[in-house]
Structure 1
């Protein structure tokens, strides 16, 4: 059985900066780019970048 990577989803606090990296440094083609989301394709591999949602810290009481 052959395993093939088709896509990766990356969470980021700075989607536009990450988008610039994939486009300008790695040469990925932009499919979609909006403020909170960017999608790229290169040789059949899709990379999706989503803005991460800050998590709320839960403090335990010991």
Structure 2
């Protein structure tokens, strides 16, 4: 790495399959690949929790 800009490059992990069923190889993914998201389940719950209807908006 003689060029300091080389550090900013990235490569996609290996893939499996072809066409519309092509996906990243789960065996090749690591936390260094950016695959570790410990709060994913909590974020999913927050985004998919039904919001109660706003009763004040219904009043004239």
TM-score normalized with structure 2 length:
0.28
Q: In proportion to residue count, which structure has more helix?
A: 2
**Structure of higher CA gyration radius:** 2
